[in-house]
Structure 1
Amino acid sequence: MKKNIFLILTLVLLNGCQPENPAIDSNVDEVTEEIVGGSTVSRVDSISKHLVFIYSNRDSSYCTGTIISENLILTAAHCIKNTSDTLVLGFGLDRSKGTMQARTSNGMVKHVAYKANLTAERNDIGLISFSGGLPEGFEPAPLANAKIFAKVKSEIIAVGYGRVKGVRNVSPDDSGSGRLRKVTLKIQSKSANGKAFEVSQQDGRGICYGDSGGPAFVKSNGQYYLVGVTSAVLWYKPKDSVYDLCKEHSMFMDVKFYKPWINAQSGQLL
């Protein structure tokens, strides 16, 4: 991979899909496909207790988030269209089952330096607060620290509610959306400024639309540590070609770098 990997030609935000029936209590058929090359998350998998489905009534888009305290969710800045909006937060494995426990946002903030048209400088990170407390069985995930953080060539576990494919220049296919899935990936490179890291998905494994804001975990001693926030899929091919965007590359914001911002903003939202 070239040293200037983050100076790429094009970038795609991951929460732009619009589910056919995206409500938390919808009754669409069960989805059996998996996140790109990954697997569905079962109720007994402890990773599920850290995740939340984020749905916007404003534009019917959805994202993924990670619980970091009793009433705070960490996600991507581009998942927050307007800080005055109300978002529905669904706690559960599958929005099509109508069994998710819902909460509503009561505050949110995105990084003041967020820029949609940049890559490693985009600062694509945000926080959502909510009332009502966590449903039973859910708990916060610890953040990256001095010993456990994103490292080049290390394995991460990405988790999200996104769809399983995103073919450019073809009508949107919402296959797989709303069902929690996970996939093990390897960090390919990190940006020079420490803000982001990149993963290759050319082996058919990775994140897709709707996984935005979701976590990249590193597992240590049975505990999942949040080391990254899903930001975008990246590609290097001509815009007019037809190919699966979710089988190219992806970018994550580095939690270790943004931890001071997370801590400062958390104090203001609570």
Structure 2
Amino acid sequence: MKTNLYVLSFIVLCLTACGNSHHNENLENINEAIIGGQETPKDHLASRYLALIYDKATDNYCTAMLIRKNILLTAGHCIKSSADQITVAFGNRPLAGDYVIRRADKVLVHPDYKNHNVNRNDLALVLIKDSAPEGYEPLAIPEESFVVEPGMIFTAAGYGRITGVTDPTGRDTQGSGFLRHVDLQIDGFSEDGTQFYVDQTNGKGICHGDSGGPAMMRFKGEDYVIGIASAISWLVPGELSDKAKKEYLEKQNVCAHKSIYISVKQYRDWINDSIKNLLK
């Protein structure tokens, strides 16, 4: 099964001209789980909020979170098909057969979603035909006044791979399909505040299959989703030929550089309005 976390290679004119590159010399030190985290037990808070979302038409999967008993929030790029192609699997090890299935009834992708490094608007909603299984509950959406700033620690969770190094045989799932979590720190924000970034050069972060997963934070006894896992990015030496760039990336851990999250509170109005439309 394919994984689906969009990756952005920032080879803009400035970087090509300057020949900038970014190297990670500690790829072998990455621990098991998500990237540098651990497998999530059933009594962990992430287990009650998350599900794996599978698109049959593209054979891709992502991570999603409940924000209502029958509505999930995920990344926009995870939804490329109509609702009848989308399946939601609740469970910590869905690819190992530990899951409860729900079918999608409606899907809604942000109308301004773009696969760019800025202004991505990368979010979508999925209405399922029945409520989530017993034991699952929604994450709260933060108010606009909810303070989210650089330096804050949050918990990331998802069903993605444990490494960004591509298996040349294509047979190794590289840990996919098991719910994992890790604590990360916000490194900075985009100018418009719609995205925040995480430095993953320390061997911790998100990878392929974690798209749509939450950045979670607990405040006054309630768990909030402050971000949606959207993309990973890296730099490629500008002086390399196309063939050399391909060979370079085949050896790189592309998940050990930087990740991009969509800041949820900036989209609170769109989320609330879209929920009303889905429930009509």
TM-score by length of 2: 0.82
Pair 171,193 (structure 1): closer, same or farther in 2 beyond 3 Å? farther
Which structure 2 residues correspond to residues 110-149 of structure 1 after superposition, within 5 A? 110-116=109-115, 118-149=116-147
Change (3 A) 1:187 1:170: farther
In structure 1, the residue matched to 2:151 is: 153
> What is the rounded CA distance, in whole Å, between the counterparts of 2:159 and 2:11 in structure 1?
27
CA contact (8 A) 1:149 1:227 kept: no
* Shift, 1:253, TM fit: 0.4
**Alpha-carbon RMSD:** 2.0
Structure 1 gaps, min length 5: 1-5, 11-31
Distance 1:78 1:171, change over 3 A: farther
**1:251 equivalenced with 2:260 (yes/no):** yes
Is contact 1:83-1:109 (8 Å) kept?
A: no
Match of 2:272 among 242, 263, 270: 263
Q: Deviations over 1:192-221 (max 9, x none)?
A: 111101101000000000000010011223
Task: Please give the alpha-carbon distance, in whole angstroms, between the structure 1 residues aligned to 2:142 and 2:10.
Answer: 27
Change (3 A) 1:153 1:171: farther
Question: 1:120 Cα deviation (Å)?
Answer: 2.1
Give the corresponding residue for 1:3: none
**Structure 2 residue identity aligned to 1:269:** L
In structure 2, the residue corresponding to 1:268 is in which secondary structure? helix
Instruction: Provide the C-alpha distance between the structure 1 equivalents of 2:187 and 2:178, rounded to a whole number of angstroms.
Output: 27
Report which of the two structures shows the higher radius of gyration computed on alpha carbons.
2
Q: CA deviation at 1:85?
A: 4.3
What SS class does the counterpart of residue 187 from structure 2 fall into?
strand
Distance in 2 of aligned mates of 1:254 and 1:211: 16
Q: For residue 11 of structure 2, what is the aligned residue in structure 1? A: 9
Shift of 1:149: 4.5
1:66 aligned residue:
65
Deviations 1:11-65 (A, max 9, x none): xxxxxxxxxxxxxxxxxxxxx9411100111011122101011011112110000
- Give 1:150 deviation, angstroms: 2.9
CA distance in 1, matches of 2:83, 2:104: 10
How many angstroms apart in 2 are the aligned matches of 1:229 and 1:61?
A: 18
Q: Which residue of 2 aligns with 1:29?
A: none
Give the distance between the partners of 1:231 and 1:265, measured in 2 at CA: 19
Could you say which residue in structure 2 is the equivalent of 1:81? 80
Q: 1:48 to 1:269 in 2, by over 3 A?
A: same
> Residues 96 and 177 of structure 2 are in contact (CA less than 8 Å); yes or no, is this contact kept in structure 1?
no
Give the TM-score, by structure 1 length: 0.85
- For each residue in 1:139-182, what CA deviation from the matched residue of structure 2 results, as whole angstroms up to 9, or x when unmatched? 00001224434311111111000011122695554211110000
Instruction: In structure 1, give the amino acid aligned to 2:119.
Output: E
Q: Aligned partners of 2:262 and 2:69: how far apart in 1? A: 22
- Structure 1 distance, partners of 2:167, 2:179, is 26
The percent of aligned pairs where both chains have the same amino acid is 36
Cα 1:81/1:7, change in 2 over 3 Å: closer
Deviations, residues 118-139 of structure 1 (Å, cap 9, x unaligned): 1221111111101111100000
1:229 matches 2:228: yes
CA contact (8 A) 1:150 1:228 kept: no
Alpha carbons 1:33, 1:175 under 8 Å: kept: no
Q: Which residue of 1 aligns with 2:189?
A: 190
Q: Is there any run of 5+ residues in structure 2 with no aligned partner, and where?
A: 1-7, 13-30, 238-244
CA distance in 2, matches of 1:55, 1:225: 24
